[in-house]
Amino acid sequence: MSLWYPYAQMKTMSPPLDVASASGAVLQLTDGRKLIDSISSWWCVIHGYNHPVINAAIQQQLTQMSHVMLGGLTHEPARKLADKLVAMTPDGLNHVFFGDSGSVGVEIALKMAIQYHKNAGSHDKTQILALEKAYHGDTIGAMSVCDPVEGMHSLFAGLLPQQRFLPAPIGGFDADESATQHNLKLLSAMLDEHANTIAAFIVEPLIQAAGGFNFYSPTYLKEARRICDEHNVLLIFDEVATGFGRAGSLFAADQTGITPDIMVLGKGLTAGYAGHSAVMATDRLFNAFLSDDESKSFMHGPTFMGNPMACTIALSSIELFEKEDRLSRIQQIESILKDRILPITGKAVKDTRVLGATGVVEVDDSASLQGVQNFAADRGVWLRPFGTYAYTMPPYVITDEQLHQICDVLQAWFKQ
């Protein structure tokens, strides 16, 4: 087989489903079956497949230029997207550096944070603080801030930079005072002891996604902002998964009322049409790179950063998000998911949780999810559980009927 598939044992992998085309929330398979995509192709196809507005924008841009480097050249789509992102993200994130995937966005964020301190004369702040259960991507720097044990990357322990980790916050989205205090005490103690070597604290705000769908409280992040400031540690929000509505607000940061020093966007940024990411930074951060000394410049520049097609797609996607009021639709999706997913019970079920357009059923043992993918496909739904999690993160254009079909499948699986 010439094609090597992701996250798969190629010797024993079941044959993947062959997709001929896709439209709205539906994948059309070559064997004639149609499946509702319950996970938006790894959470990025936020407006569904084959959206006529985005298709038209791409076609128009294609007649101008498909690509031009951003080193020494500039173009309107990149400038317009940067302005738009600054206007729509939390106050103070005034600068945008583009990358070509979520993982590369995380790499950029980590490099920026460390160089920020070096440019300011602190040469010992070279470590990053992250959370257990975190997932930030599959490149070396990003892997180093994923959960060191459960995060798929323990094999590379000798290669990865040694970072510091805190236990994942407990208590869920509505954590009570004692859970929040417990979480914050751990953060304070860590920074009291190690802030001299820690450049930044990186988190997936509110939803730790691929590392186990741990939801946690906005209050934790609000207080983390204060604690990080007290210790001269930067705060990085990795919103690759949560950005563009997935946690119920445009950005998860919007529910915290704070501005991180650096914010990484990916996935929904380009609505599943192209790989791209945007790393947003505050004036404080950006200004630390301004100097007559060339060595203080940020030495990074992926070939496809600011690709005009990707920027045009992102602009078109953001316009759709606003014009078609996706946030209201996300609230309706959340309400259906709460009605249908939260009550799911069964011997295997450990927990159910919903936030925004994200619904999760956690089981005690991954064996209880064996077969669920085929069970769902037989019932017209594309579901791809991992570990002990069956979940849905549907495209926001999904119809109520399609969403109920996904929930029917999950309910039927856990009932049997």
Ligand X SMILES: Cc1ncc(COP(=O)(O)O)c(C=O)c1O
Contacting positions for ligand X (CB under 6 A): 101-103, 106, 135-137, 204, 209-210, 238, 240-241, 266
Choose between 41 and 259: whose C-beta lies nearer to ligand X.
41
Q: Is 261 annotated in the active site?
A: no
Nearer residue to ligand X within complex by CB, 218 or 268: 268
CB of 292 to ligand X, least distance (A): 35
Rounded least distance, CB 100 to ligand X, Å: 9
Q: Which of 216, 238, 389, 396 is catalytic?
A: 238
Question: Considering 135, 216, 389, 396, which one is annotated as catalytic?
Answer: 135
For the CA atoms of 86, 88, 91, 97, the dihedral, rounded to the nearest 10 degrees, stands at -30
Residue (227 or 274) nearer to ligand X, CB: 274
Q: Give the gyration radius of the chain's Cα atoms.
A: 21
Q: Which of the residues 7, 11, 292, 323 is marked catalytic?
A: 7
Neighbours of 70 (CB within 10 A): 20
CB of 136 to ligand X, least distance (A): 5
Active-site residue 378, yes or no? no
Least separation, in Å, of the C-beta of 237 and ligand X?
10
Strands 358-363 and 389-392: antiparallel
Of the candidates 218, 208, 228, which has an alpha carbon nearest to the alpha carbon of residue 254? Answer: 218
Residue with CB nearest ligand X? 102
Contacts of 364 (CB under 8 A, 6+ apart): 348, 350, 388
Is the separation of the CB atoms in 175 and 163 below 8 Å? no
In three-state secondary structure terms, 267 is: helix
- Nearer of residues 102 and 356 to ligand X, judged by Cβ: 102
Residues 339, 313: Cα–Cα separation, whole Å? 34
Q: Which is nearer to ligand X, 210 or 285 (CB)?
A: 210
7 counts as catalytic:
yes
Decide if 176 is catalytic: no
- Catalytic annotation, pick one of 267, 389, 391, 396: 267
**Residue 305 backbone phi and psi in degrees, to 5:** -60, 135
d(CA 186, CA 140): 26
> C-alpha distances in angstroms, 80 versus 37, 244, 312, 411?
31, 18, 9, 45
Q: Rounded to whole angstroms, how far apart are CA atoms 208 and 196?
A: 26
Closest distance between ligand X and the C-beta of residue 275, in Å? Answer: 6
Active site residues: 7, 135, 238, 267
